Amino acid sequence: MDRHYLYSHQLTMTLNFRRNNGFTLIELIVVISLISLMLFFAVPQFQVDILSDNTKKASRWIMLQVHTLKEKAVHDQKRYVLHLSLDSNKLWVTSEMMSLEEIQAAEADGFKLSDDISLQDVEYPGQKKITVGRADIYFYKKGYSDKAIIHISTKDNKILSFLIEPFLSHVRLYNKYIEFED
């Protein structure tokens, strides 16, 4: 009898151990359902908030392009140029290996700023600001770029300054007008 008691006690402990060692299918379904519901209601609101602001869209485009161009220039061993047309409010990218047709296509397909945002000027250290026409920022094979500040303004008179440093991969964004000191 003692042997039978020990065996049943050991069997009960083994079953309890196995039972507490993981999650049941029902528990997993409940947790996944709750997470899905939270994402269902949260994600559409998040997308609407981000995609509705043209200033954020333009800022992200500029910052992403500068970062990408510095990496691509090193990876592809090509010089890239970020063109900014202050007259048409458009930005586009070319490389030194592009044909004339490819350059024209890149300009035609460039990033057009929305009507409530305008390129104000582009500034290089020790040079005059470019306020009309086209400004070019070069990204070189060795991983550096021209030092420049891009200024954009909004219809409600907010000004953003994008500082492009030659040896840093990210762009510094300022919510005010900044200049290079002479």
pLDDT in tens, 75-128: 999 999 999 999 999 999 999 889 999 999 999 999 999 998 999 999 999 898
Check which CATH number belongs to the domain holding 108 and give it. Answer: 3.55.40.10
CA distance linking residue 160 with residue 100, whole number of Å = 33
Radius of gyration (C-alpha) of the chain in whole angstroms = 29
CB 139 within 8 A of CB 69: yes
pLDDT of residue 181: 80
pLDDT of residue 48: 46
The answer on 142 and 70 residing in a single domain is yes
Range of the domain at 132: 54-174
The answer on 118 and 34 residing in a single domain is no
Read off the tokens for 20: 């507490």
The answer on 88 and 17 residing in a single domain is no
Choose among 94, 64, 99, 61: nearest CA to 79: 94
Determine, yes or no, domain membership for 13.
yes
The answer on 67 and 26 residing in a single domain is no
The answer on 76 and 47 residing in a single domain is no
The answer on 82 and 166 residing in a single domain is yes
pLDDT of residue 112: 94
CA distance linking residue 36 with residue 24, whole number of Å = 18
The answer on 34 and 6 residing in a single domain is yes
The answer on 33 and 58 residing in a single domain is no
pLDDT of residue 5: 57
HEC secondary structure over the chain: CHHHHHHHHHHHHHHHHHHCCCCCHHHHHHHHHHHHHHHHHHHHHHHHHHHCCHHHHHHHHHHHHHHHHHHHHHHHCCCEEEEEECCCCEEEEEECCCCHHHHHHHHHCCEECCCCEEEEEEECCCCCCECCCEEEEEECCCCCECCEEEEEEECCCCEEEEEECCCCCCEEEECCCCCCCC
The answer on 106 and 165 residing in a single domain is yes
CB 162 within 8 A of CB 122: no
The answer on 76 and 31 residing in a single domain is no
CB 131 within 8 A of CB 153: no
pLDDT of residue 155: 85
Q: The whole model's pTM is what?
A: 0.70
Q: What is the mean pLDDT of each run of 10 residues along the chain (182 residues)?
A: 58 56 81 82 56 78 93 93 95 93 94 92 93 95 94 89 92 92 64
